Amino acid sequence: MNRKWLAIYMAGSLLAGSGMTYMGITVLEKRQGDQTNDQTSETTSLYKLDKAYQIILQNYVENVDKQKLEDGAIKGMLATLEDPYSVYMDQEAAKQFEQALDSSFEGIGAEISIEEDKMIIVSPIKGSPAEKAGIKPQDQIISVNGEKVEGKDLNDVIGQIRGEKGTKVELEIKRASVDKPLKVDIVRDEVPQITVYSDIKKDGGEKIGYIEITSFSKNTASEFDKALSTLEKNEISGLILDVRGNPGGLLTSVNAIVEQFLTDHKPYLQVENRNGDREPFYSDLNKQKDYPVVVLIDNGSASASEILAAALKEGADYPLIGENSFGKGTVQQPILMDDGSEIKLTVSKWLTPDGNWIHKKGIKPTIEVKQTDLYHTHPLQIVDSLKLEDNDEQVKYAQEILTSLGFTTDRQDGYYSPQTEVAVRAFQDKNTLEVTGIIDSKTAAKLEEAVRMAKQKDENDIQLQTAIRYLVH
């Protein structure tokens, strides 16, 4: 069934005939009597919808925009599914969705989802404005530019957040480890979709290949092939696949990558439709790589990332290192409507090689390793300078940052103690700032920059270090 036919079907027209199937949506053969009854029922339902539409259009106290009314009806139907991943996208939202899979787009660079009516950050994209501003997986968005998001449509909120390069957006977020909501200013920028980064990590004379996949977009599989080929030519003795903070993406991209690491002895993925029928996916290989592989995951690893992690864990017994993954076990299909809008509909579940459904549970790592406090600091929002004997949450965040950078404070409860002042002076002296012992906007910015730089150093990444040691020893 082509997309035009599917758009007609999704709009409510009855199709009967030869049992056509499209991504799990099936039109079944019917006997004449059953067909007549179904047509009558369908006609009655459509009449009811049309009648409601006409009543509102002709009698509401104010003029009604037809397009908004139609869009609202579709959104309402999808809302009854209580599925945060089944959404309606108008023409502009559909265009933005497609752009997010291209080589670059403008915005803050973060995957957002709805969980129990809450707008949740799945993960910021590596190197994006969102990541640089301190946005983290599982942050809950409360407001955008001062406007509450509760009860709003997901794509409407995404539309508010996205914008032209150089413009600013303020997000108010709630974080589990923080008592009060945080307000974070983010300057929108071009978000490049270079999704694969590779390197060679050397340890004890061993060369360990490292590939980070930040999302699964249109070009990811080809980028990955080039990176892996280069590493293998360097005769690596092991490989680390890093999908931490990877919110997912295209099923076709992750499949093309997974197939290179597994044999054909068991499926690496099973897709289950509404009737419980399962379609298994197999690799064509008859032997695995001749070097060991480990996978890094965390709570920002979602969807396609979890497909990769589960496939390598259950299909080849490769270890997973890090923290429990996000837990998204459904597959969505963008379905084009005649006017350029789209319905992104959940059409199936995906299951692991052993038939497990990880939805809302995530995947447990083989070796659990939590990052140090350096990776759990919070952004500073300095309105007035922080100084001796101040007592608030911003002081607490500053103390956490100072301690994580090795500038010891005697407390981390938000009270600006004399020892905190000493630590601030030491930090200022080391970073060629005016040594005042007061945290002004310049010192705050330097503290956050120091955290970002420290996170980029391999020696501070204990999950990565664990993976290297696992492969070397």
Say whether 35 sits in a helix, a strand or coil: helix
Task: Give dist(CA 236, CA 370) in Å, integer.
Answer: 27
- What pairs with residue 156 in β-bridges? none
Residues with catalytic annotation? Answer: 303, 328, 332
Q: Which residues contact 45 (CB under 8 A, 6 or more apart)?
A: 12
Task: Give dist(CA 408, CA 380) in Å, integer.
Answer: 18
Structure tokens at 241: 């696949």
Task: Give dist(CA 298, CA 315) in Å, integer.
Answer: 20
Would strands 168-174 and 140-144 be described as parallel, antiparallel, or unpaired? antiparallel
Please state the φ and ψ torsions of residue 259, each to the nearest 5 degrees.
Answer: -60, -20
DSSP state of 320: E
Helix (H) or strand (E) segment spanning residue 347: strand 342-351
Task: Give dist(CA 37, CA 216) in Å, integer.
Answer: 45
Would strands 118-124 and 206-213 be described as parallel, antiparallel, or unpaired? unpaired
DSSP state of 457: S
Rg (CA), the chain: 26
DSSP state of 125: P
Nearest CA among 279, 286, 313 for reference residue 297 = 313
Q: Which residues contact 101 (CB under 8 A, 6 or more apart)?
A: 193, 217, 218, 249, 250
